[in-house]
A and B are shown apart, each in its own frame.
Chain A
Amino acid sequence: MVDVGDTLTERQYQLTRADLVRYAGASGDANPIHWSDRVAVAAGLPGVIAHGMLTMALVGRLLTEWAGDPGALVEYRARFSHPVVVPDDDDGVTLSAAGVVTEVRDDGLVGVDLTVTVGAEKVLTQARAVVRPPGAR
């Protein structure tokens, strides 16, 4: 039974340059702002940034692990509000992701609001999902 106010256990995800390169290859997103400091700086960014979709994919793990089935994620949206700068070192950057149930619909689907931060900065805003909750299949 899922109720409004239930929380999804907060998770942390570490991202390094190697992860960006792997994601660029796997996704086919070859935008150089995700691997070239030169191009990223020329585009007005502080340096190489993570793919917004990689951040979204990592946070998606929070949702699908909670639901117990990736097929339970019906709707998923986010605004990439702040670039996730990934330094060229061994530690990279650490994202924190947490979720809270904000709605339980008559059809059993639940709405989840997500908070995704790097340090004090929200890197995703308007991050929401609609999920078939655990045990609903």
Chain B
Amino acid sequence: MAVDPSLAAGRVYPPQAYEVSREKIREFADAIGDADPLYRDPKAATERGYLDVIAPPTFAMLPVLRGFDQLVAELGVTYAQVIHVNQRFVHARPIRAGDQLLTTTTLESVRSAAGNVLLGIRCEIAAESGEPVCEATATLLVRPVDASDG
């Protein structure tokens, strides 16, 4: 199914919860081959002034993906049609174990380009207290499902 370019830009999706665990941070750090003890050892993290182990900067993509999932489901497309064009993070502070994050996703722009649709997306990640943690902006390109011969 193709994306309707007349979709209302400005649509804000309901906030999605993401609870950050030490084990998930360790698993993610292992998957990117980063041995930094601040991702694994609470003692090392507190000695550096952090409340608990912190997450690698691009770990922010995990809560962001919850937002993308909402949007992709609503658009009626599959991820096999989706290409990640660009990504930007602005961190107010590192994500850390124990964070109860809430991510609010906004579809900022929808435009057609050469038969594809480009979606501009902004995700605001905040702590349970409302404290801003990270702002993530991205562009996703959605290919029409019948473009496999292109």
Q: Is A46 an interface residue (CB 8 A)?
A: no
The answer to whether A44 touches B84 (Cβ under 8 A) is no
- B113 contacts partner chain A, Cβ-Cβ < 8 Å: no
Chain B residue nearest to A44 (CB atoms) is B150
B57-A30 in contact (CB<8A): no
- Interface majority SS (helix, strand, loop, mixed), chain B: mixed
Q: Which residues of B contact A98 (CB under 8 A)?
A: none
B57: chain A residues within 8 A (beta carbon) = 60, 63-64, 70, 73, 76
Determine the chain B residues whose CB is within 8 A of the CB of A77 once the complex forms: 86-89
A19 to B28, CA, bound (A): 11
Separation in Å of the A7 CB from the closest CB of chain B? 21
* Cα A16 to Cα B61 with chains together (Å): 21
User: In the complex, A39→B33 CA distance in Å?
Assistant: 27
Chain A residues at the B interface, C-beta cutoff of 8 Å: 13, 19, 22-23, 25-33, 39, 42-44, 51-54, 56-58, 60-61, 63-65, 69-71, 73-80, 126
Per CB-CB distance, the 3 closest pairs between chain A and chain B, nearest first, are A26-B31, A77-B88, A31-B79
18 A–B contacts from the bound complex (CB under 8 Å): A19-B31, A19-B33, A26-B30, A27-B31, A27-B61, A32-B79, A32-B80, A39-B80, A43-B80, A43-B143, A51-B84, A56-B58, A61-B32, A75-B91, A76-B88, A76-B89, A80-B83, A126-B86
